[in-house]
Structure 1
Amino acid sequence: MPDTKRPRIPRGLAKDGAALWSYGFRPFFLGGAIWAVAAMALWIAALIHGLPLGGDYGPAQWHAHEMVFGFAPAVLAGFLLTAIPNWTGCLPVSGRALIGLASVWAAGRAVMAGAALTGPWLAALIDSAFLPLVLAMAAREIVAGRKWNDLKVLGGVAAIMAGNLGFHGAVLLGGHPGAWLRAAVAGYVLLVLIIGGRIIPSFTRNWLARQGAGAMPVAYDRFDMGVIALSALALAIWTLAPESRLAAFACAVAGVLNGARLVRWRGLAVRSESLLFVLHAAYAFVPLGFLALSAAGMGLLMPASALHVLSVGVIATMMLAVMTRATRGHTGQALTASRWTALSYMCLFAAALARPMADLTGLVGLMEASGLLWIAAFGLFVAEHLGMLLRVRRKAKAAMA
């Protein structure tokens, strides 16, 4: 007998209406990618032409917020609303509920860009609504499907939500939101450690099995659990004391351990398939990012550059890798990367490396080049996948774990 007491959320692959609202990945991957391009273009305009952005937040804080709490949560929501139905066996959220959630996200982007007109308090209130809704919806679906082991994913989402609330609170009360920004970045990295550790070896194992390969990725074991736990500790120390010797040591250890974890997944064996190899390449920024944080803690690298290795190298590249694979898989396309897709990967990898290289080498133009490469990467995604996201309704291939 159905549970009539539990609030109902419209579900299912909507067969009528726009294809855009039939599955979570469609509006949020598209909206996130478009905003990635637009927000970076606005930031470059602010740097070059002094375009006022963010009102009391200021252009620099607006840029940081919109990358970590604007673009990235959209992609995260698209992933969760697409992956969780695969984990639980429940039908995906679609239709009016999906339109409502996307509208809340879009409203947040509008009020943050126009905070000078709306005022910071109203902007903070509207922007802060999205992540709690995503967390509640994801929690409800996991609980309804009784997939208790997947509840750990919600910890990362909660950290990002708390980071956004703290970010707004710090700005509104005259403080600096740096610690809250780091907490959110740590939450994303933790999700990559958990979910990436699930999908990367799984997809690799499936591909190698089809090729008849003998050696397979090492299965998830206590080593993985230990790496995740120690990495979470290192991230916590870095969040609270980013320039301390303890943070430098903990991040160095986490970097080495994550490098060892990556080697166990046999990434080089799948280098001929870019759509799969990019997941390994994106995860490679995890040990690189931890080592960058360690270098920053020892005064060898600017903290902002180390942060960009995580935010662009780990978070954005993993998101682009998942966006391309999931979009192709869930619209019935072949799970292989086109030349344009491969080029978008290369642009984002270069963007992630150009920012710290600008500090290390002092070369003029590298910082601006990083922003332009970012725009190119997500612009290519929109150009290639727009039709798939808006129109294509086909039987999905296995694209999500």
Structure 2
Amino acid sequence: MLTLRRLWSLDHPVWLCGFRSFFLFAVLSAPLLVLAWGAFIAWGVPLPATPGGAFVWHAHELLFGFGLAAVAGFALTAVPEFTRSPAVGPRAVRLLALSWLTGRVAFWASGAVGTAALIVSALAHLALLAGLIFLLAPRLWRHPERRHLSFLWALIALTLLVAGFYADALSGASPARWLHATLGVLMILIVVALSRISMRIVNASIDTWREKGGTLRDEYRARPPRRNLAIVCIGLYTAVEFVAPGVRLGGWLALAASAALFNLLNDWHVGRPLFRRWPLMLYLVYVLMASGFGLIGFALIGGDGAVSSGRHLLTVGALGLSVFVVVCIAGRTHGGYPLDERRWIPASAALLVAAAVMRAVAGGAGSHGVAWMSAASVAWVLAFALCCAYLAPLFVRARANGGVGCEGPPPTPDGS
């Protein structure tokens, strides 16, 4: 009890910066949620009874649980850094974290308790997003160039999607379409966020290559035209899939999104510096995203409507790997630590890529689908279990350098 009371205290390190509690939620929920889903798929272990059944519970928790925790942690850390404004205070962080936890408990209990729990879950999720907008919108709007307003639009879009999901759930309609649209918005947010992160990571790798005697003429630039084209194509596909799921037009737009993402990767082809762990992992996020939209496009144009394989390349692959990389980078640097160069990082990344590929294969594996899904679940759980073991303790521990803020350490010569 004393431990819990100490954890709730505002001077506990877990409330020091927004990323600490929310990245902790992300890395803990990732293996636990998929472990529960894998047990359900393989052995029929029951899941919480929620509106829409097991599929909706699974997608809701990975998007509004795991995904939203990662978004909140990133936004609470990146926006103050990008706008050069003070970190969000511990009291606000604790209230936002309580909203996230309340949303989990209430949604899980909604099948047993009924409408009241579903309403509480809706209010908790909306409170989290409204709190993020209230805290971050003034900073984004007051920034002289307003270069980062895309984060605000993404938060507003997520708020509308959460409201739509719960409106359908409370009315008895299937809320799955709101989850599919949420996935599209998260893909756009990943493109926006990685464009900021990649500028630092890739160019640091190029600098290291030059220091070692390598020759490279140009710096890496995340060019807005290519990025904006990808965002527009993803947005158009998401809109069409929302209003008219399964139509061939959605397939063509998904292929356009895939082509735009592969085109975006042309900016990344900088030679040997790309093949260092951090640039390469960021690069693979885009590869998985582009491949996912490509599979969706071919499925819709082919007329069978089997888009599960492509969607899981987006969720297990692009979303899972991007959250992993961001947690590893921001979670350590803003905690006062240099980046981790140990082997568990590429091992976990490889497990996540393998999980995405196996889950995509499961969509067309017929009677062997359960075995492929189970193997994918094991790979995902192992990847995030390693993440928990190596990173979770840092989120509840005082800063390594004795600091009290969210600032990161100076960059190291190798770009880490």
User: Do they fold alike, i.e. is TM over 0.5?
Assistant: yes
The residue that corresponds to 1:249 in the other structure is 252
TM (norm. structure 2) is: 0.86
Q: Do the aligned residues in 1 keep the contact of 2:79 with 2:136 (CA within 8 Å)?
A: yes
Deviation of 1:74 after TM superposition, in Å, equals 0.5
- Distance change in 2, residues 1:20/1:256 (3 Å): same
Q: Which deviates the most, 241-250 or 138-147? A: 138-147
Q: Do the aligned residues in 2 keep the contact of 1:160 with 1:183 (CA within 8 Å)?
A: no
- Distance change in 2, residues 1:391/1:336 (3 Å): closer
Q: Do the aligned residues in 2 keep the contact of 1:157 with 1:187 (CA within 8 Å)?
A: no
- Percentage of matched positions with identical amino acids: 26
Partner residue of 1:195 out of 193, 196, 214: 193
The residue that corresponds to 1:397 in the other structure is 409
- Distance change in 2, residues 1:306/1:240 (3 Å): farther
Q: Do the aligned residues in 2 keep the contact of 1:301 with 1:359 (CA within 8 Å)?
A: no
1:231 equivalenced with 2:234 (yes/no): yes
1:181 equivalenced with 2:176 (yes/no): no
Q: Return the letter of the residue paired with 2:77.
A: T
Q: Return the letter of the residue paired with 2:65.
A: G
The residue that corresponds to 2:217 in the other structure is 214
Superimposed CA distance per residue, residues 181-232 of structure 1 (whole angstroms, 9 cap, x where no aligned partner): 1111111011122222232234212321233243332452434333332332
Partner residue of 2:11 out of 9, 17, 23: 17
CA distance in 2, matches of 1:122, 1:114: 6
Partner residue of 2:168 out of 170, 180, 183: 170
CA distance in 1, matches of 2:325, 2:397: 21
What secondary structure does 2:337 align onto?
coil
Q: Return the letter of the residue paired with 2:383.
A: A
What secondary structure does 1:335 align onto?
coil
The residue that corresponds to 1:291 in the other structure is 294
Superimposed CA distance per residue, residues 223-251 of structure 1 (whole angstroms, 9 cap, x where no aligned partner): 43333323322332233333211111121
1:279 equivalenced with 2:282 (yes/no): yes
Q: Do the aligned residues in 2 keep the contact of 1:160 with 1:185 (CA within 8 Å)?
A: no
1:38 equivalenced with 2:32 (yes/no): yes
Within-5 A mapping of 1:90-109: 90-109=85-104
Superimposed CA distance per residue, residues 8-40 of structure 1 (whole angstroms, 9 cap, x where no aligned partner): xxxxxxxx8221111111110011111122222
Deviation of 1:353 after TM superposition, in Å, equals 1.3
Deviation of 1:66 after TM superposition, in Å, equals 0.4
Deviation of 1:304 after TM superposition, in Å, equals 2.4
- Distance change in 2, residues 1:228/1:58 (3 Å): closer
Q: Which deviates the most, 65-74 or 242-251? A: 242-251
TM (norm. structure 1) is: 0.89
Superimposed CA distance per residue, residues 291-342 of structure 1 (whole angstroms, 9 cap, x where no aligned partner): 0220221246722222211122222211111111111212233324321121
Q: Do the aligned residues in 2 keep the contact of 1:57 with 1:120 (CA within 8 Å)?
A: no
The residue that corresponds to 2:372 in the other structure is 366
Q: Which deviates the most, 304-313 or 44-53? A: 44-53
Q: State the superposition RMSD in angstroms.
A: 2.4
1:335 equivalenced with 2:335 (yes/no): no
Deviation of 1:117 after TM superposition, in Å, equals 3.6
CA distance in 2, matches of 1:119, 1:382: 33
CA distance in 2, matches of 1:59, 1:234: 26
The residue that corresponds to 1:135 in the other structure is 133
The residue that corresponds to 2:323 in the other structure is 319
Q: Do the aligned residues in 1 keep the contact of 2:202 with 2:274 (CA within 8 Å)?
A: no
Q: Return the letter of the residue paired with 1:373.
A: A
CA distance in 2, matches of 1:337, 1:236: 41
Q: Do the aligned residues in 2 keep the contact of 1:283 with 1:318 (CA within 8 Å)?
A: no
CA distance in 2, matches of 1:398, 1:251: 40
Aligned residues: 386
Any gaps of 5 or more consecutive residues in structure 2? Answer: 1-9, 211-215, 402-407
- Distance change in 2, residues 1:381/1:268 (3 Å): farther
CA distance in 1, matches of 2:335, 2:188: 29
CA distance in 2, matches of 1:272, 1:135: 37
- Distance change in 2, residues 1:135/1:296 (3 Å): farther
Deviation of 1:88 after TM superposition, in Å, equals 0.9
CA distance in 2, matches of 1:194, 1:175: 32
Partner residue of 2:156 out of 155, 158, 162: 158
Higher relative contact order (CA 8 A, sep 6+): 2
Q: Do the aligned residues in 1 keep the contact of 2:205 with 2:274 (CA within 8 Å)?
A: no
What secondary structure does 2:389 align onto?
helix
CA distance in 2, matches of 1:398, 1:77: 24
CA distance in 2, matches of 1:371, 1:43: 8
